[in-house]
Amino acid sequence: MAKARLESWEVSDAFWERVEPLVPQRPARRARRKYQRNPGGGRKPKEPRQVFEAIVYVLRTGCQWKALPRERFGSASAIHKRFQEWEKAGFFVALWQAGLAEYDEMEGIAWRWQSIDGALLKAPLARESVGPNPTDRGKKWKQANAVGGRPWSPGVDHRDRGQPK
């Protein structure tokens, strides 16, 4: 029997088994507050797997948070709030580290041969090839001379407000 093909953003059961232990637990609600919610009142929190699948969906498709399919994932703001909680708790760093460790066991990472390359320079001929920056269009770099050929200046240099005209 052939396996059903998953979409690129769907989380398989095998992958979720490896991710689930890393998901941070939600903090307990404070018990001593003026307002106590009725037991069972309000919406239940989203399942962690559904939240993780929504985050993977955003990463794989490149869509905005508000463009998440509501019928599949529910409220985009609830998903984003959970994403921020998980990021603050270090979930994504732990997930990255676990993925690196697993890959290192499978294939072996040659850490000794890793290198980083980069350059933080302006392109030397960029100005000539692309022209002026389009955001600078409204700025007046040079003031054109008046019709007579001489620069314009006001007739009176300065007037105190207290003096009569």
Nearest to 89 by CA among 25, 28, 44, 29: 25
SS3 string of 59-104? HHHCCCHHHCCHHHHCCHHHHHHHHHHHHHHCHHHHHHHHHHHHHH
Please give the biggest Cα pair distance in the chain: 99
Each domain of the chain, given as residue ranges in start order, spans 1-25+44-109
Q: What are phi and psi of 72, to 5 degrees?
A: -95, -40
CA trace torsion 62, 52, 44, 86 (10° rounding): -100
Residues 6+ apart with CB under 8 A from 146: 152
pLDDT in tens, 66-89: 999 999 998 999 999 999 999 999
According to the model, what pLDDT value does residue 46 have?
Answer: 86
Determine the pLDDT at residue 117.
Answer: 73
Q: Which two tokens stand for residue 1?
A: 């029997």
Q: What is the pLDDT of residue 159?
A: 64
The helix or strand, by DSSP H or E, that contains position 156, with its residue range, turns out to be: none
User: Is 24 within 8 Å of 91 (Cβ atoms)?
Assistant: yes
Question: pTM here?
Answer: 0.59
Positions of the chain with pLDDT under 50: 1
Tokens of 25: 């637990």
Residue 147: per-residue pLDDT? 62
Q: Which two tokens stand for residue 50?
A: 């559904």
Phi-psi region of 136 (alpha: psi -120 to 50; beta: other; left: phi over 0): alpha
Q: Which tens digits make up the pLDDT trace of 45-65?
A: 889 999 999 999 998 888 899
